Structure 1
Amino acid sequence: MPVPLKLTRRVATALLGPTALVALAGCGAQGDGRAAEAEARRTERGAPPPAPTPRVEVLPGMPPVVDPNDLYSEDRPNRLSPVVKDFPSRVYVPNTGSDTVSVIDPETYRVVETIKVGAQPQHVVPSWDLRTLWVNNNRGNTLTPIDPKTGKAGEPVPVHDPYNLYFTPDGKHAVVMASLDRQLVFRDPHSMEIRKTEPVSCYGVNHADFSIDGRYFIVSCEFSGELLKVDTLRKKVVAQRKLPLKGAMPQDVKVSPDGKTFYIADMMAHGMWVLDGDSFAEPTLLPTGKGCHGLYVGRDSKEMYVSNRGEGTVSVFDFARGEVSKKWRLPDGGSPDMGGVSADGKVLWLSGRYDSEVYAIDTRTGAQLARVKVGSGPHGLAVYPQPGRYSLGHTGVFR
Structure 2
Amino acid sequence: MKSSRRTWLRNSLAAPCSLALAPLLSLRTGLAAAAAAPAYAIVMNSGEASVSVIDMATRKVLRTLPTLREPSHWALTPNRKELYIADASGNALFVVDPVKASAIGHKTIADPYQLGFSPDNRYLVVNALRLNHVDVYRADDLSLVKRFAVGKMPSHLDFAPDSRTSYNSMQESNSLVALNLTDMSVRWTTDVGKTPAGVLWHKGKVLICVMGADHVAEVDPANGKVLRKIKTGVGPHNIFLAPDKKTLYVSNRIGGSLVALDADTFELRRTYPFRAAGPDDIAIAPDGKIWVALRFHEQVAVLDPESGKYETIDVGRSPHGIFLSTQLAHTGPITAEVL
Distance of aligned partners of 1:294 and 1:87 in 2 relative to their CA distance in 1, 3 Å threshold: farther
Alignment match, 1:385: 326
Partner of 2:75 in structure 1? Answer: 125
Indicate if the aligned counterparts of 1:84 and 1:130 stay in contact, CA closer than 8 A: no
Aligned match of 2:278: 335
Map 1:288-299 → 2, pairs under 5 A: 288-299=232-243
Q: Give me the whole-angstrom Cα distance separating, in 2, the residues matched to 1:82 and 1:205.
A: 38
Whole-angstrom CA distance in 1 between matches of 2:266 and 2:101: 40
Contact 2:113 2:128 in 1 (8 A): yes
Cα distance change of structure 1 residues 234 and 83 upon mapping to structure 2, 3 Å threshold: farther
Q: Does the CA contact (< 8 Å) of 1:157 and 1:192 recur in 2? A: no
Over 3 Å counting, the alpha-carbon distance change for 1:113 and 1:191 in structure 2 is farther
TM-score (norm 1): 0.72
Q: CA deviation at 1:116?
A: 0.7
C-alpha contact 2:298 2:319 (8 A) present in aligned 1: yes
Change (3 A) 1:281 1:191: same
Which protein is bigger by CA-based radius of gyration? 1
Does the CA contact (< 8 Å) of 1:208 and 1:220 recur in 2? Answer: yes
Once the two structures are TM-superposed, the CA of residue 298 in structure 1 deviates from its matched residue by: 1.5
| Among candidates 362, 374, 377, match of residue 304 of structure 2 | 362
Distance, in Å, in 2 between the alignment partners of 1:206 and 1:185 is 12
1:63 aligned residue: none
- Listed as ranges, the matches of 1:108-119 within 5 Å are 108-119=58-69
Give yes or no for contact 1:348–1:363 (8 Å, CA) kept in 2: yes
Q: Structure 2: 5+ residue runs without aligned partners? A: 1-29
Structure 1 contact 129–171 (Cα < 8 Å) conserved = no
Determine the structure 2 residue equivalent to 1:192: 142
The reply on whether 1:175 has 2:125 as its aligned counterpart is: yes
Higher strand share: 2
Shift of 1:345: 5.7
Go from structure 1 to structure 2 and tell me whether the alpha carbon gap of 1:87 and 1:396 turns closer, same or farther (over 3 Å shift).
farther
Q: Which residue of 1 aligns with 2:201?
A: 255
Taking only the aligned residue pairs, the percentage that are identical comes to 24
Deviation at 1:329, TM superposition (A): 1.5
Greater relative contact order, per chain length (Cα 8 Å cut-off, separation 6+): 1
Kindly state the Cα deviation for residue 121 of structure 1 after the two structures are TM-superposed.
1.0
Q: Helix, strand or coil for the counterpart of 1:174?
A: strand
Indicate the larger mover: 126-135 or 136-145. 126-135
Could you tell me which residue of structure 1 aligns to residue 248 of structure 2?
304
Q: Given residue 282 of structure 1, which amino acid in structure 2 is its aligned partner?
A: V
What RMSD over aligned residues (CA atoms) do the two structures have, in Å?
2.0
Q: Does 1:235 align with 2:179?
A: no
After TM superposition, give the deviation of residue 234 of structure 1 in Å: 2.3
Partners of 2:35 and 2:75 in 1: how far apart? 18
Q: TM-score, normalised by structure 2?
A: 0.85
- What's the CA shift for 1:377? 1.0
Contact 1:203–1:222 (Cα < 8 Å) also in 2: yes
In 1, are the aligned partners of 2:241 and 2:338 still within 8 Å (CA)? no
CA distances 1:100-122 after superposition (whole Å, capped 9, x unpaired): 00011122211111101110111
Q: Is the 8 A contact 2:240 2:337 kept in 1?
A: no
Q: CA 1:83–1:174 in structure 2 vs 1: closer, same or farther (change >3 Å)?
A: farther
Whole-Å separation in 1 of the counterparts to 2:110 and 2:161: 30
List gaps (5 residues or longer) in structure 1: 1-79
1:150 matches 2:94: no
1:314-345 C-alpha deviation (Å, 9 max, x unpaired): 11111222221221223x65211112222x26
Q: Secondary structure at the match of 1:214?
A: coil
